[in-house]
A and B are shown apart, each in its own frame.
Chain A
Amino acid sequence: MRDLTVLYDATCALCVDARRWLEAQPKFVRLRFLPAGSPGAAARFPELNPADTLRDITVVDDAGNVYRGPKAWAMCLWATRSYRGWSQRLTSPELWPMAKRMIAWVSRNRGSLAPAGGWALRRL
């Protein structure tokens, strides 16, 4: 696998901060970012429903494998050099159910969490 395309909600401040943070990380796998629902995303992935990709962050690898929501988060961490270990720990059978719930909660409240999330991401 050589690159992952991340379809993110470009209208959400937290997602834009997260994109910036990810772009700055050294990576094992290249990450490309496309705003969900944009013409660019539709051109590259004609079969994906734009409404689905706007609701949950979506990651697609170069073979067309689609990862949604918490799995997309795990794949983004997996792409980075410093946090690949964390992607493995978070997806372990013990932590994954809790991690999924937490990610889903953050995703649902991404509007109100933006200031705190942005502050944290700039310090990571």
Chain B
Amino acid sequence: MDIIVTTYLIYLGLSIVITIWVARALFKNGLIFLVDVFAGNEALASSVNHLLVVGFYLINLGFVALALRIATPVPDARTSIEALASKIGTVLLVLGTMHFFNLYVFSRLRRNARLELAPPPVEPDACTAVRAAAAHA
């Protein structure tokens, strides 16, 4: 087999395995955040979790496919490994960025959900009668 084709196949194999590994980590550990965000609604949390992971796969595999082409000539094993390393390195950095972005989204969702449920920060000074149906200025 052509050395460039072998390089491509190794690149695809490694990238796909890494993507699956990261997506599974996200899937397994993201659920607990989402259950908290959706106030214990596990069905909704697991549905959102699935959808997030699908998006994660699409973006990453799309990137892996687009970044496949190696423009420089690959005559021997040494250039093949170098090209492979730079491709895999880019994929890892993109995955890492996506992963941290996902964590940021999770923690933001969680913080907002907590804020929405937060009780008033101070105790009232007094209690008074309220007449309904007043004209508001």
Contact = CB atoms under 8 A, between A and B. Distances in A.
A44 B131 contact: yes
Contacts of A68: 125-126
B121 A88 contact: yes
Interface of B is mostly: loop
A66 B128 contact: yes
A46 B134 CA distance: 11
Contacts of A85: 111, 115
Task: Label chain A's interface by main secondary structure.
Answer: mixed
B75 interface: no
Given A34-B137, A38-B137, A40-B135, A71 B125 contact: yes
Contact of B125 (A45, A66, A84): A66
A15 interface: no
B136 interface: yes
Interface in B103-125: 111, 115-116, 118, 120-125
A57 interface: no
Contact of A71 (B122, B127, B136, B137): B122
B43 interface: no
A124 interface: no
B129 interface: yes
A48 interface: yes
Interface in B39-62: none
Contact of A91 (B121, B128, B131, B135): B121
A1 B120 contact: yes
Contact of B134 (A44, A61, A64, A75): A44
Given A28-B116, A35-B137, A40-B137, A47 B128 contact: yes
Most buried by A among B118, B128, B129: B128
Interface residues of A, number: 34
A32 B130 contact: no
A65 B122 contact: no
Nearest to A88: B121
Residue among B111, B116, B124, B135 having the largest count of chain A Cβ atoms under 10 Å = B124
Interface string A27-55: 01000111100101001111110000000
B124 A66 contact: yes
Contacts of B134: 34, 40, 43-44
Contacts of A67: 122, 124-125
Interface of A: 1, 28, 32-35, 38, 40, 43-48, 60-68, 71, 74-75, 78, 81, 84-85, 87-88, 90-91
